[in-house]
C-alpha cells in the first residue's frame, strides 16, 4: 500500500507540475523578476497546492497514517543557520536556472539535454552536502 | 497567455493533493529534495522503494500528458556554467536547508511551520535578487 500511495502522490505531483507550467523556466524566472514582465502563475500554483495540504494537516491530529505508523512530529521552531544559508543558496540556483528539484525531475522526459545536466549537478550538490556540513561546523561551531 | 493562472491553480491543486496522499497515506512529507536527497546520501535506504516509485510517478505522468500538448518549451538556459552552478546550488542548498519549494513551501507553509515560512522567504528573496542581478545587470540569463 505504501508503494501505491507513493506512486499516486508522485503521479499527482508530476501531473500538477506539468499542467501548471512550472517546468517552464521562463515562468518561474518571470515570477521572480519583479522588474521585468511579471508572471503571476507561480503564486496560483503555490496557493492551489497549499489548500489540499492545509486540509490534510487538519486531519492529522489523533489519527494514524493509512499505511504508516506515525505522522511527522511537530517541528521545533528553530531557525538554524543551515536553514538560512541553504535556502539562500537554493534560491540563488533557482533564480539562475528557473528550476527546483520537483520540476527538474518532472521535465526530464521532454526538457532536453540541459535538464539532465542540471539534475546531474543537483545530485552532485546533494552528494557533497554531508561534507559541506562538517566543514561548516569546523569553520564556525554551532552553539 | 490569459488562462495561465487557471492552469497554475489546477496544477497547484494536483500538487497539493499529491502531498495530501503522501502525508495521509504514508505519514510522510512530500518534499522533492528530501525524497531525492535520501537516495543520494544513503539516508533513505530503508524507504528506497517508495522513493523510487514516487519519482517514477513524477516522471511518468508528464510523459503521458505530453502528447496532449504537443511541444513544450521549457526555455531552459543553454549556458553550461549557469546550469551547472544552478544545479550545484539547488542540490546543496536544499539539502542543507532540509527542504525546497515542495517541502518547505507547500508542506511547511500549509502547517504554518516557522521553519518553512522562513526558508520560503529566504529562497524567494535570493531568487528574486539573482534574477535581477544576472538578468538586468549582467545580462547572463
Question: Model confidence over B79-119: pLDDT tens digits?
Answer: 999 999 999 999 999 999 999 999 999 999 999 999 999 99
Q: Which residue has the cell 547572463?
A: B140
- Residues of A with Cβ-Cβ distance to B135 under 8 angstroms: 29, 33, 36
pLDDT in tens, A90-137: 999 999 999 999 999 999 999 999 999 999 999 999 999 999 999 999
Domain ranges of chain B: 4-137
Q: Which of residues 83-142 of A touch B (CB under 8 A)?
A: 83-102, 104-112, 114-115, 117-130, 132-133
Segment A15-30 mean pLDDT: 97
CA dihedral A108, A109, A110, A114 (to 10 degrees): 30
Length of chain B equals 141
d(CA B124, CA B101): 10
pLDDT in tens, B108-139: 999 999 999 999 999 999 999 999 999 999 99
Where does the pLDDT of residue B2 fall: very low under 50, low under 70, confident under 90, or very high at 90 and above?
Answer: low
| Average predicted confidence (pLDDT) for chain B | 96
pLDDT at res. A73: 87
- Residues of A with Cβ-Cβ distance to B48 under 8 angstroms: none
**Distance set, CA A117 to CA A120, A122, A124, A126, B82 (Å):** 5, 9, 11, 14, 11
CB contact at 8 A, A84 and B99: no
Segment A65-87 mean pLDDT: 92
d(CA B83, CA B16): 28
- Residues of A with Cβ-Cβ distance to B33 under 8 angstroms: 100-101, 126
Which ipTM was obtained for this model? 0.96
3 state SS for B41-78 = CCCCHHHHHHHHHHHHHHHHHHHHHHHHHCCCCCCCCC
Tally of domains within chain A: 1
A85 lies in which domain range? 2-139
* A106 class by beta-carbon count within 10 Å (0-12 exposed, 13-18 middle, 19+ buried): buried
pLDDT in tens, B7-66: 999 999 999 999 999 999 999 999 999 999 999 999 999 999 999 999 999 999 999 999
Q: Where are the alpha helices (DSSP H) in chain B?
A: 4-21, 32-40, 48-69, 80-97, 109, 114-131
pLDDT at res. A4: 98
Binary contact (B15, A48; C-beta < 8 A): yes
- Our measurement of the distance from residue B74's CA atom to the centroid of its chain's CA atoms, rounded to an integer in Å, reads 15
Length of chain A equals 143
Q: Judge whether residue A142 has pLDDT over 90.
A: no
Distant-in-sequence, close-in-space partners of B3: CB < 8 Å, separation ≥ 6: none
- A-B contacts at Cβ under 8 angstroms: 482
- In angstroms, the separation between the Cα of residue B136 and the nearest Cα of chain A is 8
pLDDT at res. A143: 57
Amino acid at each position: 500500500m505504501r508503494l501505491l500511495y507513493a506512486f499516486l502522490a508522485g503521479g499527482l505531483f508530476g501531473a500538477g507540475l506539468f499542467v501548471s507550467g512550472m517546468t517552464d523556466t521562463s515562468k518561474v524566472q518571470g515570477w521572480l523578476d519583479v522588474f521585468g514582465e511579471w508572471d503571476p502563475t507561480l503564486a496560483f500554483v503555490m496557493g492551489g497546492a497549499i489548500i489540499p495540504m492545509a486540509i490534510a494537516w487538519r486531519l492529522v491530529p489523533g489519527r494514524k497514517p493509512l499505511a504508516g505508523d506515525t505522522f511527522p512530529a511537530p517541528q521545533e521552531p528553530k531557525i538554524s543557520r543551515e536553514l538560512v544559508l541553504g535556502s539562500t543558496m537554493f534560491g540563488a540556483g533557482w533564480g539562475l536556472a528557473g528550476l527546483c528539484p520537483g520540476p527538474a525531475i518532472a521535465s526530464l522526459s521532454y526538457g532536453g539535454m540541459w535538464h539532465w545536466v542540471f539534475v546531474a549537478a543537483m545530485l552532485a550538490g546533494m552528494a557533497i552536502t554531508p561534507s559541506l556540513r562538517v566543514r561548516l561546523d569546523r569553520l564556525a561551531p554551532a552553539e | 497567455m490569459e488562462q495561465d493562472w487557471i492552469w497554475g491553480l489546477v496544477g497547484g491543486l494536483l500538487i497539493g493533493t499529491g502531498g495530501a496522499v503522501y502525508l495521509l497515506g504514508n505519514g510522510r512529507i512530500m518534499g522533492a529534495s528530501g525524497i531525492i536527497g535520501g537516495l543520494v546520501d544513503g539516508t533513505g535506504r530503508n524507504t528506497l522503494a517508495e522513493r523510487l516509485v514516487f519519482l517514477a510517478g513524477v516522471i511518468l505522468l508528464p510523459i503521458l500528458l505530453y502528447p496532449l500538448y504537443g511541444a513544450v518549451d521549457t526555455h531552459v538556459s543553454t549556458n553550461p556554467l549557469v546550469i551547472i552552478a544552478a544545479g550545484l546550488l539547488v542540490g546543496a542548498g536544499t539539502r542543507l536547508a532540509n527542504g525546497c519549494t515542495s517541502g518547505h513551501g507547500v508542506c511547511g507553509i500549509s502547517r504554518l511551520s516557522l521553519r518553512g515560512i522562513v526558508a520560503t522567504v529566504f529562497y524567494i528573496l535570493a531568487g528574486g535578487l539573482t534574477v535581477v542581478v544576472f538578468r538586468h545587470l549582467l545580462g547572463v540569463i
